[in-house]
Structures are given as C-alpha cells and as structure tokens.
C-alpha cells in the first residue's frame, strides 16, 4: 500500500488556522497533521483491513495509552464499512499498556503494565499498533501462538531500522520529530489535542519531569 510521507522540512500548519485547547498556546509550535486528515487516512486503513481479512474475525490489541484514539476510530470505521457492505468483520478489542518514554526520549526498557497474560490471543487473528517497542511486543505476543499477527500504526518515523518493515498498515511516514496530540503524550500532557502537533521548547520545559 502507498504510504503518505511527510518531508523532513515540513514545518506544519500555523496554529492560527485551527482550533485547539487555549492552555497549550505556548506549548506547541504547529499543527503537524490536522484531525480531519488523520480521520480520512484512518478510514482508508480500515478499507485495507476489510479487504485483507475478508470473513475472518479479528482480535484488536490496543496499545495504551497513545494508541487508544487511533484504535477506537479504526475499529469504528471497520464497523461502519461492514454495515454498508455485504461483509462484516467481527472485531473484539483487548488492551495492553506499554511504557518506554521518559520525557521525549525512548528508553530501552519496555514495561508491560496490566494484562501481561495474552493467552486469549491463542489461535486468533490479531491486529495492533505501537512504535519503537514493536519488536519486543511482537516477540511477547508470538509466545501466545496467535493464528496471525498484523500491525497497524498511525505514525512510523524515518529512523535507522525504522518500524515500517514490521507495520502492515501505516498511516503516515514522518521525520524523527517528537509529536503530541490525538492521544500521543509528553509526560501525560497533550492527549486532549485532536490534531497531531509539534511540541515547543517551552512545552518541553514546562512539562518535563
């Protein structure tokens, strides 16, 4: 599938063009991917999944917390497409929480919080999303012997050994920039932004721990 690629020098849209929580005015530099574009692209990914899985039922493993909006919207589009066609892809959603970031740096430690026993995946067709931690998570998931595993990721960053090769359904390929919004956070802040935005130096300093 073709993947939209955002150029390295793309500065994003001016904040004056969009609405966003006013308390973040000094904390973000620009709107990198507007919410409407995210939704349209997510709908396209839902089409790809519907075509690929046909009549299979799938278990969706949502990676919390950053993946919950993408997961919810993707599953909703799959349901809508099913209602408007002669094929319906039954989806069941389970959740797993990962933590690998400190401030804006990804650490080597992968912490699985909550449901570590994924035995409910055995024999199932699975679809889930994550980022740099994908290899470790995939290795963990495979130990529970699912029938098939597919990975959906809204964003894949252009970095050495980038995760695109492990991602079956990619929303956008972006430069290696730290972005927030649409459930992506910086120390638990910015999840309430609808757009994906570039955090400012001021924002990093204000919410640093």
Of the residues 8, 16, 129, 192, which is catalytic? 129
H or E, element range at 69: helix 68-83
Strand-pair category, 58-64 with 91-102:
parallel
Strand-pair category, 91-102 with 105-113:
antiparallel
Count other Cβ atoms within 10 Å, centred on residue 33. Answer: 24
In 3D space, the residue among 125, 74, 66, 122 whose CA is nearest the CA of residue 98 turns out to be 66
Question: Which residues, 6+ apart, have CB-to-CB distance to 204 below 8 Å?
Answer: 103, 104, 186
Q: What is the distance of C-alpha 190 from the center of its chain?
A: 15
- The DSSP symbol for 16 reads G
Distance between CA 125 and CA 144 in Å, rounded? 12
Is there a catalytic annotation at residue 55?
Answer: no
Distance between CA 155 and CA 118 in Å, rounded? 25
Residue length of the chain? 209
Residues acting as catalytic residues: 129
């Amino acid at each position: 599938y073709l993947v939209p690629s955002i150029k390295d020098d793309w500065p994003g849209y001016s904040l004056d063009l969009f609405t966003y929580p006013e308390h973040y005015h000094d904390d973000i530099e620009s709107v990198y991917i507007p919410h409407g574009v995210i939704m349209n692209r997510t709908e396209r990914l839902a089409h790809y999944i519907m075509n690929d899985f046909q009549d299979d039922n799938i278990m969706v493993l949502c990676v919390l917390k950053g993946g919950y909006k993408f997961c919810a919207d993707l599953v909703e589009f799959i349901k809508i497409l099913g209602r408007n066609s002669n094929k319906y892809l039954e989806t069941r959603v389970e959740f797993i929480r990962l933590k690998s970031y400190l401030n804006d740096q990804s650490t080597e430690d992968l912490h699985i919080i909550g449901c570590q026993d994924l035995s409910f995946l055995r024999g199932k067709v699975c679809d889930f999303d994550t980022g740099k931690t994908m290899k470790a998570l995939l290795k963990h998931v495979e130990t529970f012997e699912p029938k098939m595993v597919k990975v959906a990721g809204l964003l894949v960053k252009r970095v050495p050994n980038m995760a695109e090769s492990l991602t079956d359904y990619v929303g956008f390929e972006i430069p290696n920039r730290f972005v927030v919004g649409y459930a992506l956070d910086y120390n638990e802040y910015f999840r309430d932004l609808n757009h994906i935005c570039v955090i400012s130096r001021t924002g990093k300093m204000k919410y640093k721990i």
